[in-house]
Amino acid sequence: MTIQIVPLGAGQDVGRSCILVTIGGKNIMLDCGMHMGFNDERRFPDFSYISKTGDFTEMLDCVIISHFHLDHCGALPFFTEMCGYDGNIYMTHPTKAICPILLEDYRKITVDKKGERNFFTSQDIKNCMKKVIAVNLHQTIMVDDDLEICAYYAGHVLGAAMFYIRVGEESLVYTGDYNMTPDRHLGSAWIDKVKPDVLITESTYATTIRDSKRSRERDFLKKVHDCVAGGGNVIIPVFALGRAQELCILIETYWERMDLRVPIYFSAGLTEKANHFYRLFINWTNEKIKSTFVHRNMFDFKHIRAWDRAYIDNPGPMVVFATPGMLHSGTSLELFKKWAPDPKNMVIMPGFCVAGTVGSKVLAGEKHIKTDSFTTIEVNLQVKNLSFSAHADAKGIMQLIRQCDAKNVVLVHGEKSSMGFLKSRIMTEFGIPCFDPANGTTVSI
């Protein structure tokens, strides 16, 4: 028997993760993401590959969503409500709770601000979420008599999971995005020694071995402190949930220690709600937060207040966490436009930006950025890039391959050039076959 793997998205690329797997006669879709660098039909995976006639429900045995980031779940309402998939969808509880909020947020920006038609509606999101079956970690779920799936902690964001899939004697692990080093609010990924026939792993940081956590944090805080001390404003584009909470905990404790009075704001009305989610899903955070939450909840911030648009003209230094994280729309773009011309100000780009977004242009060092045909932004402010994104680095990926004892490795969710490097390293170090298929190409194992 062979296992076939076809990436519909995220093959030698980052964004719109969607991988089709055939194992033991079962067809499974792993993630159903959208690409945020595009505004046309390229933002969704090419579902016509699965079926030309649209009978997706018959073709697929189940859809599994690894975590709530839009590049992993963004196309789900489109797939279920507009393409008509009606089968089983599995995700963890926190993902089920948070992903509709992000979807709704994204929908508002695309439809209301850009005035796009032919996009899913709020009701579509709700209907879609009703079809989702929430799973617990380590709980073995029998999708049907032969197909079983089991989720493991992935540590990338709240509720992120890796999935072990087994049909008969054939098995596969899909990692989604994961992190092998515990951070301030999440634990590290962990999996049993399940000896899968195939491990499909992300490879965002395939070539980097990041310097130690502590020095990165010190670096980050120093930059922020220096900037506000010089009277500048700091804008930190983030996604409302995930990295933002870690950075908030970090800044909050630093402000407390240094006794700083510079205001910190968090844009998007999501803050309160987001923090409430973290309080309710405290079981999914790390041991330290879990053991202390009764006395002091880490997600009750003292220094961080909700952002109001009126504050934009306030004088004097401030730190603003603004959504969305890739500067492609919303508050973060608005603030960036306003503050970009002044060299005193600073933008800190945490994590990764999809090609084509304003964020990626900023990172590329462009000095004049066209947002649309009428507006061009002068970029004079300081640009700092901090890889705070909780992905596993090369060392972490190798560690996971060893931990689960995989027989074959397939790399997805990464840049083509760096994948090649990691691929050769895996083959020499473990002596096992490794693949990095492009979108639409099939790997048979």
Give residues 99-158 in contact with another protein (rule: CB under 8 A). 100, 129, 134, 136-141, 150
User: Minimum Å distance from CB 360 to another protein?
Assistant: 33
Site membership for another protein, residue 194 (CB under 8 A): no
If the CB atoms of residues 270 and 412 are measured against another protein, the closer one turns out to be 270
If the CB atoms of residues 78 and 277 are measured against another protein, the closer one turns out to be 277
How far from each other are the two terminal CA atoms of the chain, in whole angstroms? 8
User: Minimum Å distance from CB 264 to another protein?
Assistant: 23
If the CB atoms of residues 196 and 351 are measured against another protein, the closer one turns out to be 196
Site membership for another protein, residue 190 (CB under 8 A): no
If the CB atoms of residues 100 and 232 are measured against another protein, the closer one turns out to be 100
Give residues 24-43 in contact with another protein (rule: CB under 8 A). none
Q: Would the CA dihedral through 255, 223, 414, 439 be positive or negative?
A: positive
Binding residue for another protein, selected from 73, 189, 247, 282, defined by CB under 8 A: 282
Give residues 49-108 in contact with another protein (rule: CB under 8 A). 93, 96-97, 100
Report cis status (omega within 30 of 0) of the bond before 196.
no
The one segment of 178-186, 251-259, 273-281, 396-404 that binds another protein by CB under 8 A = 273-281
Binding residue for another protein, selected from 174, 277, 307, 336, defined by CB under 8 A: 277
Binding residue for another protein, selected from 58, 222, 230, 280, defined by CB under 8 A: 280
User: Minimum Å distance from CB 406 to another protein?
Assistant: 20
202 is catalytic: yes
**Cα–Cα distance, 392 to 398 (Å, whole number):** 9
Q: Would the CA dihedral through 358, 360, 362, 365 be positive or negative?
A: negative
Site membership for another protein, residue 273 (CB under 8 A): yes
Give residues 367-426 in contact with another protein (rule: CB under 8 A). none
The one segment of 80-88, 181-189, 270-278, 365-373 that binds another protein by CB under 8 A = 270-278
Binding residue for another protein, selected from 283, 376, 441, 442, defined by CB under 8 A: 283
If the CB atoms of residues 134 and 312 are measured against another protein, the closer one turns out to be 134
**Cα–Cα distance, 170 to 196 (Å, whole number):** 8
User: Are 404 and 196 spatial neighbours (Cβ–Cβ below 8 Å)?
Assistant: yes
What is the edge-to-edge ordering of all strands in the sheet holding 198-202?
140-142, 147-153, 161-167, 170-174, 198-202, 409-412, 434-435
Residues in contact with another protein, counted by CB under 8 A, come to a total of 24
The one segment of 77-85, 115-123, 199-207, 280-288 that binds another protein by CB under 8 A = 280-288
User: Minimum Å distance from CB 105 to another protein?
Assistant: 15
User: Minimum Å distance from CB 294 to another protein?
Assistant: 5
If the CB atoms of residues 235 and 274 are measured against another protein, the closer one turns out to be 274
Binding residue for another protein, selected from 276, 305, 309, 416, defined by CB under 8 A: 276
Give residues 154-183 in contact with another protein (rule: CB under 8 A). 169
What is the edge-to-edge ordering of all strands in the sheet holding 26-30?
132-135, 88-92, 62-64, 26-30, 18-23, 4-9, 443-444
User: Minimum Å distance from CB 244 to another protein?
Assistant: 16
User: Minimum Å distance from CB 282 to another protein?
Assistant: 5
The residue from 104, 169, 170, 202 that is catalytic is 202
Site membership for another protein, residue 288 (CB under 8 A): no
Site membership for another protein, residue 279 (CB under 8 A): yes
User: Minimum Å distance from CB 100 to another protein?
Assistant: 8
| Number of Cβ atoms within 10 Å of the Cβ of 143 | 19
User: Minimum Å distance from CB 130 to another protein?
Assistant: 10
Print the binding letters for residues 289-308 with another protein: x by CB under 8 A, - otherwise. Answer: ----xx--------------
Catalytic residue positions, numbered = 202
Residues of the shown chain interacting with another protein in the complex, contacts defined by CB under 8 A: 93, 96-97, 100, 129, 134, 136-141, 150, 169, 273, 276-277, 279-283, 293-294
